[in-house]
Structure 1
Amino acid sequence: MRALKILLVLVVLFGGLFVAADRAAVHFAETEAASKIKSSQGLSSEPSVSVKGFPFLTQVLGGSLDEIEISMGGITATAEGREVEVTEVRAELRDVTVNSTFSSAVAGSAEGSALISYADLSKSAPKGATVGYAGPERAAKGQVKVSGPLGDLVEGAGIDVPDAFKGLLSDDFTTYSTVSMENGDTVRLRADELPDLPVPGFQGRLKDVVDYDLKIDGMPSTVELDKITMVENGLRFSGTGKDVSLTG
C-alpha cells in the first residue's frame, strides 16, 4: 500500500511538471509566432496568437498543430484619404504543419473574419452622408442605407448650386447602396437608384459622389476575405483559404 501511495504521488508530481512545461512551451511558441507574423505580414502591431489543443509538446513532436487562433489590430481602410478602423479581425488556422527548424508554418485550411462598424463606415462616406443598417430585407440583398441632408451632401461634394435652387435643398436625402468586394481588399458602394432631385442636371453628379470605394490596407495574407454580410452593427467580412503561410 505504501509503495502504491508513493507511485501515485510521483505520477501526480511528474504529471504536474509535464503540464507546466507544456504550458510554458505554448506561451513561448505563441510569443514567437506573434513576432514572426507581425514581421512577415507587415502588421503595425503584434497579433494575439492562441495555440489550441493539449498536449502541445506531442503536437510539436509530430510536426503538426491542431488549431491556431489569431486576432489582429491596426488594420485600417481608406477612401480618398479618409481613414477608418477595421475591427474584430480574426483568423482560425487548422492542420498547421511546421518544419523541423520551426522557421515556417503552413495551415491546411483557414477561416477569417473582420468587421467595419456603420459609425466607422460613415467616416469614410462622402461629407454630409451617413451609412447605416438598411433593415433585414435590404441587408439580405447586400444593401446599406445612405442618408443625410441634401444641402450638406451637395456642399460637401463641392457642387455649385445656383442661388435660385439653394432653397430646394433643405430636404433629407436617402438612397440604398449595394455593397460588394473587389480583389479581396476593396469594398465598393454603388447606389441602386437615386431619389428625384429638385435641381435639374444634378442626378448624375450626385451619383458620382455617393458611389465610392473603400480600400482595406494592411490585411495580412492569412485572412483572405471575399464575402460581405450586412449585420445590425456593421459590415462583416468572412472568407476561407488553403495552404496559408503564417511566416511568409
Structure 2
Amino acid sequence: MGARAVIGTVVVVGVLVGGAYVADGFARGEAEDRVAEELRTGLDGLDESPEVTIGGFPFITQYLAGRISTVNATAQEVTVDGVSLQDVVVDLEGVTTESPITAEDARMTAHVPLAGLLEAVDLPLEVAIVDGALTATAEVFGLPLDAELVPRAEGRSIGIDIETFTLAGATIAAEDLPAGISDQLDAIAIPLDGLPEGIELTEVVVDRDGFAVTATGSDVVLERATAG
C-alpha cells in the first residue's frame, strides 16, 4: 500500500472514530440531563436538578447493556424530613437504565448545619457547637446543667450520645441526675427516613457549624415510590 493510501486510510478511520466519540458524548450528555431530571422529580426534597456526570467509556454500550458503571451527582441542598442537607455529593455504581432507577452501590456525603437542624427538630436542650464540640445546656432545680454530646449514625437517623454531665460546675454520672432527665437526653434522635430506600447513615461527625454525614447502601432505589 502506497503512502497516499495509508494516509487516506488513517484519515477515514480518524473521521469514523471521531464521529463515534462525538455521538457517544452527545448520548452521554442527553442521559445525564435525563437522570438529573428524574432525580429531581423522583426524590423528595430536591427542588432543582442536580449536576450529573456519567463515567465510563463508551457510554452507548453501557446504555445498551442496561447498566451504567458510575454516576456522580451533586446538589447544593436537599431537604430530608425538614432537615437541610447541603453540599450533597452522591457516587453511584451499577446504575440501571430502566425505571425504577436503582444503584448496586451508593455513597453520599453532605453537611448538615446545626441551625437548620434545630429549626426542624424540637430538642429538649439548648444545643450549640463550642470549640469544635457539641454541647447542651439546661436548668435543673435552678442550677445550670451542661452536657457534652457526641453525634452518631443510627441507621436512618442521627443519634445523640451523652459524654459527660456537669451540674453547677461539678461532673456527675447520668444515674445521679433527677429522674427522667437522663432518659430524655438519651432519647435524642433526628430522623432522616426520607433518604432513598436502601441507604443508611454510616458516619456522623461534628464539622464546622454542624455535622458531616456519610451514608451508604446497596440496591438503592433512586425514584419516589408511586401509589398503586
Q: TM exceeds 0.5?
A: yes
1:188 aligns with 2:159: yes
2:222 pairs with 1:246: yes
Which of 25, 38, 43 is the aligned partner of 2:40?
38
Paired with 2:43 and 2:54, the residues of 1 have a C-alpha distance of 19
Q: How many residues align?
A: 211
1:36: Cα distance to partner?
1.6
Per the alignment, residue 146 of structure 1 pairs with 135
CA distance in 1 between partners of 2:131 and 2:204 (Å): 11
Q: Which has the higher contact order (CA 8 A, sep 6+)?
A: 1
| Within-5 A mapping of 1:1-248 | 1-45=3-47, 46-76=49-79, 85-98=84-97, 102-117=98-113, 120=116, 128-132=126-130, 134=132, 144-146=133-135, 154=139, 174-182=146-154, 184-197=155-168, 208=184, 212-216=188-192, 218-221=194-197, 224-233=199-208, 234-247=210-223
Q: Is the 8 A contact 1:75 1:87 kept in 2?
A: yes
Cα 1:132–1:185 change in 2 (3 A) is farther
Contact 1:122 1:130 in 2 (8 A): no
1:242–1:12: structure 2 CA closer, same or farther, 3 Å change rule? same
| Contact 1:49–1:69 under 8 Å retained in 2 | yes
Identity %: 22
- Structure 2 counterpart of 1:138: none
In the superposition, relative to structure 1, how do residues 71 and 221 fare at CA in structure 2: closer, same or farther (>3 Å)? farther
Q: CA RMSD in A?
A: 3.4
SS state at 2:108 partner? strand
Deviation per residue, 1:57-112 (Å, 9 max, x gap)? 1212222211111223442367xxxx6521232222212233xxx44433222222
CA distance in 1, matches of 2:42, 2:83: 23
What SS class does the counterpart of residue 42 from structure 1 fall into?
coil
Distance 2:25 2:215 in 1: 31
Distance 1:69 1:133, change over 3 A: farther
- Contact kept? 2:148, 2:163, Cα under 8 Å: yes
Q: TM-score, normalised by structure 2?
A: 0.72
Report the Cα distance in structure 1 between the residues aligned to 2:127 and 2:221, rounded to whole angstroms.
40
Distance (whole Å) between structure 2 residues aligned to residue 109 and residue 206 of structure 1: 41
**TM-score scaled to structure 1, two decimals?**
0.67
Which protein has the bigger helix share? Answer: 1
Amino acid at match of 1:57: I
Task: Quote the Cα distance in structure 2 between the aligned partners of 1:88 and 1:203.
Answer: 41
Q: Which runs of 5+ in 2 are unaligned?
A: 170-176
Larger % of strand: which? 2
**Contact 2:76–2:88, Cα closer than 8 Å, also in 1:** yes
Q: Which runs of 5+ in 1 are unaligned?
A: 135-143
